Amino acid sequence: MPAEGEEPRILADMPGASTSSASRVHEARAISPDGSAQPSADLAAVLFDMDGTLVDSEQLWTLALDDYASHRGGVISDATRALMVGSNMRRSMNLLLTDLGLSAGEGDVTAAARWVEQRTAELFRQGLPWRPGAHRLLHDLRARGIPTALVTSTYRSLTEIALETIGRDAFEVIVCGDEVGDRNKPDPEPYLRACRSLGVEPTRCVAIEDSPSGLRAAVASGCAVVGVPCEVPLDPEDGGVRCDSLAELDAGSLGELLAGRPLSAPRGTGCKDRAS
């Protein structure tokens, strides 16, 4: 696991990565109105959250947290459960322990985080289902030469397990929750770090998120943002546009969003050009 604060790894430096895929950082394509790819400086990259956005792992986190609460003789309140979605591990453990009426000192938080991480790893290894449309969207972006980054609050050790499903070669850059010190989401630093590693300006990127804290982080970074709800409702005040499913998105619609045009859906009518 990288040391805290270490720069995220570029794909070319990761085992099994190809130089050709890493070079896509410098070969971004925008999308013309008819949906075809053409050279442009508009859409530089697409940045993805992981849990609840690309893979349906939030339910596994929920199970691990419930198992811990049961292990400690308690039940998690609905209010605390909602606050933990999209949050980083240490904050979540602090919320959890406080909700259960347990001591939430530094050592207590560390021990709880270790227990939940180990249980979540067991669940991740049993298999992670894709969120609807996620695999197709990643494939579409790759086919058009548009770089992607994974920006997650999840620790690197668990992210590596999830990448066995998603594919390590799907991203040029991966930023994990234990690699940004105390500046995790909703701080914009994870997204800003991904953009720095890609060598692109945030204003030329689209970020896709499913949680309120993730939306706030992405908006604060300067990226154009799409919110695709999963476990919790998204408040219009959190910013970004809304889409019912990643199945409603493709490279063309993301290019339109970055250009300031209404977000159109290639399939169905699930996308809305204003937060709602």
Q: Express each pLDDT in 19-55 by its tens digit.
A: 333 334 333 333 344 444 442 348 999 999 999 999 9
Q: Given the structure tokens 């930023």, which residue do they identify?
A: 175
Percent of the chain with pLDDT over 70: 79
Neighbouring residues of 23: CB distance < 8 A, sequence distance ≥ 6: none
More confident residue, 98 or 4: 98
Bond from prior residue into 186 cis (ω within 30 degrees of 0):
yes
- Per residue in 87-130, pLDDT (tens digit) is 778 889 999 999 999 999 999 999 999 999 999 999 999 989 99
Domains, the chain, ranges and CATH? 11-56+129-272 (3.40.50.1000), 58-125 (1.10.150)
Chain centroid to CA 66: how far? 23
| Parallel/antiparallel/unpaired status of strands 224-227 and 205-209 | parallel
Q: Which residues contact 167 (CB under 8 A, 6 or more apart)?
A: 138
- For the full predicted model, state whether its pTM sits above 0.75: yes
Tens digit of each residue's pLDDT (9 = 90 or more) over 209-253:
999 999 999 999 999 999 999 988 898 888 899 999 999 999 999
Helix, strand, coil share of the chain (percent; to 5)? 45, 15, 40
* pLDDT at residue number 263: 63
Strands 271-272 and 241-243: antiparallel
Per-residue pLDDT at 260: 81
Closest CA to 11 of 150, 144, 146, 179: 150
What is the structure's pLDDT at 10?
A: 31
